A and B are shown apart, each in its own frame.
Chain A
Amino acid sequence: GNSVTQMEGPVTLSEEAFLTINCTYTATGYPSLFWYVQYPGEGLQLLLKATKADDKGSNKGFEATYRKETTSFHLEKGSVQVSDSAVYFCALSDPANDYKLSFGAGTTVTVRA
């Protein structure tokens, strides 16, 4: 079946530090990969996505590259801000599983001024 494993948190960083959150996946088909972000008291927002191997998704300074050979989709940002404090979820959508979204456990990131 499909599964997503992401780095456990919580992660605490200082402003302008480099952020990386590891994510690996298992899928039966050829999935699309996503990073969602959840700010306190809100629903999930799509941060970025990649639909095929070697695609790079990017948004708001965040990047992630779809690596089929390592089944990974690590999230990175070069210089974080306090406003990046949130919970980040890695997810996959597999056409072989009728596009159902499978989520990782989430990583809580706190950025200190």
Chain B
Amino acid sequence: KAGVTQTPRYLIKTRGQQVTLSCSPISGHRSVSWYQQTPGQGLQFLFEYFSETQRNKGNFPGRFSGRQFSNSRSEMNVSTLELGDSALYLCASSGARTNEQFFGPGTRLTVL
């Protein structure tokens, strides 16, 4: 079974731009969660989508948004990028109502 894939792996953007990251979950998994990882704040939960609906949300500003498609693929968008948005963005998928999450390799976003 293929694992969680994330594209692109690396991105460089400038302040004020917007960015869209993509995540394809493991086949059959309907839940997709997003996390931001930074040296200062560690791993922080952004949001979770299940069956195209946002089920949970972390404490991030509205510039961070996401969506999920009918095939369970998910995208997250960050608008009006700030320097502090530089991070590794991780996506994880899980089967319905299980507690085990499988992570992708991440997208490394650098904001200049």
Give A residues with C-beta under 8 Å from B: 32, 34, 36, 42-46, 49, 51, 89, 93, 95, 98-106
Q: Which label, helix, strand, loop or mixed, suits the secondary structure of the B interface?
A: strand
Contact between A98 and B45, CB atoms less than 8 A apart: no
Contact of B42 among A34, A45, A99, A105 (CB under 8 A): A105
* Residues from chain A with Cβ under 8 Å of B90 in the complex: 43-44
B9 and chain A: residue at smallest CB distance: A41
Ranked 5 nearest A-B pairs via Cβ? A93-B99, A103-B43, A43-B103, A44-B103, A43-B105
Give B residues with C-beta under 8 Å from A: 4, 6, 33, 35, 42-43, 45, 48, 55-56, 90, 92, 94, 97-106
| 12 sample A-B contacts, Cβ–Cβ < 8 Å, listed by A number | A34-B100, A43-B90, A43-B104, A43-B105, A43-B106, A44-B103, A45-B103, A98-B48, A100-B33, A101-B92, A103-B42, A103-B43
